[in-house]
Chain A
Amino acid sequence: MDQPALAVTALAVTALAPTAPEPAAPEPARWVRFHGRRPTFRRLVMRGALLELLTAGFYRFWLATDIRRHLWSHTLIDGDPLEYVGRARELLIGFLVATAILVPVYLAYFLIGLEATRLQAFAGLPLVLVLYVFAGFAAYRSRRYRVTRTVWRGLRASMTGSGIGYALRMVAWDLLVVISLGLALPWRQAALERYKMRHTAYGTLAGAFDGTGGALFRRGWPLWLLAIPGVLLIIPIPFLVAAFRAILWQWWVSNIRFGAVRFHSYLDRDSLFGCYWKATGWAVLLAVMMGLWLGGVLGIAAALATAPVPGGTPDYAMAFQHPLVVAGIAIGYLLMVLGLGVVIRIYLTRDIWARIAETTAIHGLSAADGVTGQGSAADALGEGFAGGFDLNLGGI
């Protein structure tokens, strides 16, 4: 599970430089604010979806960049906006490089698969495993790209660490989670966050993560109990997911530290219900519309189907394969996918981002005054792999 680049709001730090330091008085809390306007964002993602359609998906690099620029630049930390300095061209190059690396990998897989299928009919598992380990690597490198493209008050956040090291840790922890039927999840989250934050910094302020698996477990265990009956009943799923995400975010934000700068999140367990329900409602509506469209297209095709021999049954298979029918189905499908993308970006990306930002307080900002030091900007290879592998890494 990737922690979207919201990590970077944590890089927030500093109060107005105090003219006379008063160590006696405790420093008042500072706040994170989100000033992005919803209609602006909606226009941005709708236009983006249309352009993705026109460009057969190539626009995705520009859309992702524009979304990040919007979210970052309207997120204010102590009155100063974050700035995202990544550019779509970097993502495109990262994607092309990743592709060049993937070609031999795919070819090797094909040849290995040739050997494996002789042993058993359906041997798709190895590739899934390879992709899964790779996804961990790509997620870490993607985060590194996003973090190092985040600027606040003229200073870049930085990130080091090894994508492969992270991927191996992730695999080991996931094994434990599976063996423990999900009970180990809080400790997995804590361990992986510690690794990520340990390698993150803002200038000379080293990042750290103080969260423990135990604390997360104490807040989340009812959800674990409810998971099986909840999934079986289907309806509660959005509630469960929303509560789980809210608990996770609250725990995560509240345990981030940069030097002596600490954060606290006032996000409630039910804060994200609305976002998830709206997204679910729209998804169901889109699916119903897609069903009606499909039924309409196939119905017309069936009505126009002709029999190969007079008096015989109409050849429906033939009619359904008519190019116009295929094109109609394809157009309906693409529109649904793009609509779903818009819905997810508005309700699950922007709205959740805004809610988390608005409920975050910062303590001890003066520790960040006059911080110096600049990390280097990482490449976008991880993002390229993620794009090439069709992985949804938080979508931001």
Chain B
Amino acid sequence: MPPDQADRPPAVFYDGASNRRHPVRLVTGPDLAMEEDGVTIARWAYGDIRRADGDGRLRLRCLSGPPLARLEIADEALAASLLARLPASGRDAGRGHGRARQIVGWSLAACVSILALVLYGIPFAAGRLAPLVPLSVEQRLGDATDTRLRAMLGGRVCTRPDGAAALARMVEALGTAGGIARPVEVLVLSSPVANAVTLPGGRIYVFDGLLRKAETPDELAGLIAHEMGHVHNRDGLRTVIRAGGTSFLIGLLFGDVTGGAAIIFAANALLDAAQSRDAERVADDFAAATVTALGRPPAAFGDLLVRITGSDSRGTILDSHPVSVERLDRLAAAPGTAQTLSSGPALLDDAGWQALRQICADAATGSHPGPDGPKGPVRRSDKQNRP
């Protein structure tokens, strides 16, 4: 049974060196003296006395002296008179509302700085870091992504020889005109989704669904040139660096809130969208410059975009691609367009174009992967994300 609280001495002192209880008499003079059997065993200066946690009775500690020394006062009148002598800071046990306000303020400051880093610092760093990454490392990253992406997309690479030859001709011409200093591999995937994906390291997947939407070789050429622009600017690599940095920082913030992963994913999706809009514009400009150099109309690519997405000109913050009509106008207004419109030779003759469109025809497109694109570093292929 617990000892009866009533027969406790009015004050008990623990010296912080042993757990022996010292029943003491308190002498309140210039400082607080504790007497045991008439001998003063401790003196505390009032200014150094602070409250310690306790259960229903006053417990005090002292800043000067042994850190674990404690004075317990069971007598309420004595406790009240002693509390009155303490400085204001000694009266609460450090759990006031002022503390919460302070924490909220500092946390908000930390959040703002982390957000600023996520929005501006990391993209800037990614842009600066990407050129420093050796091509071989980027290639490796692409290979790693490739395995994962192919596992998700299903489908197969279409390799009908005459179609593949036509595609190779087109890619060759575009690569030369665009001045890309690295090998670019373009493959057609037997997926019904109208999209294309570019991996870090320079591999481009054009889905069969997109190939079927294209009506002229110029439209497809514009699209491939656009994806080559991503390769040229190393956008895939930049995305990987940015997404990694963002995940890490936001993970810091929500370290312990369950579902931090979901928050990270959402934040990355938003950021990706916002920041890849610029990348898309740059890739569009690259595409326009490339096909113009070949003497073909850049606006054809814009027509393809509008056909895929409709002429709806509303965008949300989750749109990674600028709205199609806007892009069409921009492509049509590309410098030098008027003079070179269709002045160059056609990129593919009719037979070549038909062969390319039938590149997947030798097998039934059995697998219909859903509209979900890769969730890995390259996230540019859900329904919203148009080439």
Q: Which residue of B lies closest to A151 (CB)?
A: B68
The interface bits of chain B over 93-112 (1 if a CB of A lies within 8 angstroms of the residue's CB, else 0) are: 10100011001101110110
The answer to whether the Cβ of A369 comes within 8 Å of any Cβ in the partner chain is yes
Chain A residues, CB < 8 A from B56: 35
Chain B residues, CB < 8 A from A390: 255-256, 258, 260
Asked if B103 and A16 sit within 8 Å, CB to CB, the answer is no
Chain B residues, CB < 8 A from A388: 252, 255
Q: A152 touches which one: B2, B19, B93, B150 (CB < 8 A)?
A: B19
Chain A residues, CB < 8 A from B92: none
Asked if A370 and B18 sit within 8 Å, CB to CB, the answer is yes
The answer to whether the Cβ of B124 comes within 8 Å of any Cβ in the partner chain is no
Asked if B3 and A155 sit within 8 Å, CB to CB, the answer is no
Asked if B256 and A57 sit within 8 Å, CB to CB, the answer is yes
Give the size of the chain A interface in residues (CB under 8 angstroms).
76
Taking each of A56, A84, A340, A371, which has the highest tally of chain B beta carbons within 10 Å of its own beta carbon? A56
* Contact (A17, B20) CB under 8 Å given A321-B316, A330-B263: yes
Asked if A121 and B147 sit within 8 Å, CB to CB, the answer is yes
The answer to whether the Cβ of A106 comes within 8 Å of any Cβ in the partner chain is yes
The interface bits of chain A over 64-79 (1 if a CB of B lies within 8 angstroms of the residue's CB, else 0) are: 0010010011101011
Chain A residues, CB < 8 A from B81: none
The answer to whether the Cβ of B341 comes within 8 Å of any Cβ in the partner chain is no
The answer to whether the Cβ of B348 comes within 8 Å of any Cβ in the partner chain is no
Q: How far apart sit A213 and B361, CA to CA, in the bound complex (Å)?
A: 67
The answer to whether the Cβ of B346 comes within 8 Å of any Cβ in the partner chain is no
Q: A323 touches which one: B69, B70, B257, B316 (CB < 8 A)?
A: B316
Q: How far apart sit A308 and B316, CA to CA, in the bound complex (Å)?
A: 13
Asked if B110 and A76 sit within 8 Å, CB to CB, the answer is no
Q: How far apart sit A57 and B20, CA to CA, in the bound complex (Å)?
A: 42
The answer to whether the Cβ of B140 comes within 8 Å of any Cβ in the partner chain is yes
Asked if B17 and A372 sit within 8 Å, CB to CB, the answer is yes
Q: A35 touches which one: B55, B260, B317 (CB < 8 A)?
A: B55
Asked if A370 and B255 sit within 8 Å, CB to CB, the answer is no
The answer to whether the Cβ of B309 comes within 8 Å of any Cβ in the partner chain is yes
The answer to whether the Cβ of A380 comes within 8 Å of any Cβ in the partner chain is no
CB distance from B271 to the nearest CB of A (A): 13
The answer to whether the Cβ of B37 comes within 8 Å of any Cβ in the partner chain is no
Q: How far apart sit A59 and B55, CA to CA, in the bound complex (Å)?
A: 25
Q: Which residue of A lies closest to B260 (CB)?
A: A390
CB distance from A114 to the nearest CB of B (A): 5
* Contact (A326, B68) CB under 8 Å given A76-B2, A84-B53: no
Asked if A114 and B141 sit within 8 Å, CB to CB, the answer is yes
Q: B148 touches which one: A31, A62, A103, A122 (CB < 8 A)?
A: A122
Asked if B262 and A318 sit within 8 Å, CB to CB, the answer is no
Chain B residues, CB < 8 A from A16: 3, 21
Asked if A83 and B263 sit within 8 Å, CB to CB, the answer is no
Chain A residues, CB < 8 A from B104: 51, 54-55, 59
* Contact (A154, B55) CB under 8 Å given A76-B2, A95-B255, A330-B266: no
The answer to whether the Cβ of B54 comes within 8 Å of any Cβ in the partner chain is yes
Q: A62 touches which one: B103, B110, B252, B266 (CB < 8 A)?
A: B103
Give the size of the chain B interface in residues (CB under 8 angstroms).
67
Chain B residues, CB < 8 A from A120: 147
Q: How far apart sit A14 and B21, CA to CA, in the bound complex (Å)?
A: 10
Chain B residues, CB < 8 A from A83: 52-54, 59, 70
The answer to whether the Cβ of A382 comes within 8 Å of any Cβ in the partner chain is no
Chain B residues, CB < 8 A from A113: 144
Asked if B253 and A59 sit within 8 Å, CB to CB, the answer is no
Asked if A114 and B140 sit within 8 Å, CB to CB, the answer is yes
The answer to whether the Cβ of B318 comes within 8 Å of any Cβ in the partner chain is yes
The interface bits of chain B over 336-368 (1 if a CB of A lies within 8 angstroms of the residue's CB, else 0) are: 000000000000000000000000000000000
* Contact (A154, B69) CB under 8 Å given A117-B147, A118-B144, A337-B258: yes
The answer to whether the Cβ of B151 comes within 8 Å of any Cβ in the partner chain is yes
* Contact (A56, B20) CB under 8 Å given A78-B3, A95-B255, A317-B383: no
Asked if A155 and B19 sit within 8 Å, CB to CB, the answer is yes
Asked if A81 and B54 sit within 8 Å, CB to CB, the answer is yes
The secondary structure that dominates the A interface is mixed
Q: B259 touches which one: A54, A95, A308, A333 (CB < 8 A)?
A: A333
The answer to whether the Cβ of A309 comes within 8 Å of any Cβ in the partner chain is yes
Q: How far apart sit A120 and B260, CA to CA, in the bound complex (Å)?
A: 27
Q: How far apart sit A321 and B382, CA to CA, in the bound complex (Å)?
A: 12
* Contact (A117, B144) CB under 8 Å given A51-B103, A60-B256, A369-B20: yes
The answer to whether the Cβ of B15 comes within 8 Å of any Cβ in the partner chain is yes
Q: A54 touches which one: B19, B55, B107 (CB < 8 A)?
A: B107
Chain B residues, CB < 8 A from A194: none
The interface bits of chain A over 117-158 (1 if a CB of B lies within 8 angstroms of the residue's CB, else 0) are: 110111000000000000000000000000000011111100
The answer to whether the Cβ of A351 comes within 8 Å of any Cβ in the partner chain is no
Q: B254 touches which one: A57, A62, A323, A372 (CB < 8 A)?
A: A57
Taking each of B69, B256, B316, which has the highest tally of chain A beta carbons within 10 Å of its own beta carbon? B256
The answer to whether the Cβ of B46 comes within 8 Å of any Cβ in the partner chain is no
Asked if B19 and A308 sit within 8 Å, CB to CB, the answer is no
The answer to whether the Cβ of A211 comes within 8 Å of any Cβ in the partner chain is no
Q: A57 touches which one: B143, B145, B253 (CB < 8 A)?
A: B253
Asked if B103 and A368 sit within 8 Å, CB to CB, the answer is no
Q: How far apart sit A115 and B143, CA to CA, in the bound complex (Å)?
A: 9
Asked if B244 and A110 sit within 8 Å, CB to CB, the answer is yes
Q: Which residue of A lies closest to B317 (CB)?
A: A323
* Contact (A155, B18) CB under 8 Å given A73-B53, A114-B141, A118-B143: yes
Q: B19 touches which one: A60, A121, A203, A333 (CB < 8 A)?
A: A203
Q: Which residue of B lies closest to A327 (CB)?
A: B266
CB distance from A17 to the nearest CB of B (A): 7
Interface residues of B in 203-256 (CB under 8 A from A): 244, 248, 252-256
The interface bits of chain A over 269-294 (1 if a CB of B lies within 8 angstroms of the residue's CB, else 0) are: 00000000000000000000000000
* Contact (A333, B262) CB under 8 Å given A120-B147, A318-B384: yes
Query: Given A31-B1, A69-B93, list of 17 further CB < 8 A pairs?
Result: A55-B111, A57-B254, A66-B95, A79-B2, A81-B53, A95-B255, A115-B140, A117-B148, A121-B148, A153-B19, A155-B18, A308-B309, A318-B384, A326-B266, A334-B257, A369-B19, A374-B68
Closest 5 CB pairs of A and B: A154-B14, A55-B107, A73-B53, A117-B144, A153-B19
Which B residues contact A (CB, under 8 angstroms)?
Answer: 1-3, 5, 8, 14-21, 52-56, 59, 68-70, 93, 95, 99-100, 103-104, 106-108, 110-111, 140-141, 143-145, 147-148, 150-151, 244, 248, 252-260, 262-263, 266, 270, 309-310, 312, 316-318, 371, 382-384
27 contacts between A and B (CB under 8 A): A30-B2, A31-B2, A54-B108, A55-B104, A56-B253, A56-B254, A57-B254, A58-B107, A73-B55, A79-B2, A79-B5, A83-B54, A114-B144, A154-B16, A154-B18, A155-B18, A156-B68, A203-B18, A318-B384, A321-B318, A323-B318, A369-B20, A370-B18, A370-B20, A372-B18, A374-B17, A390-B255
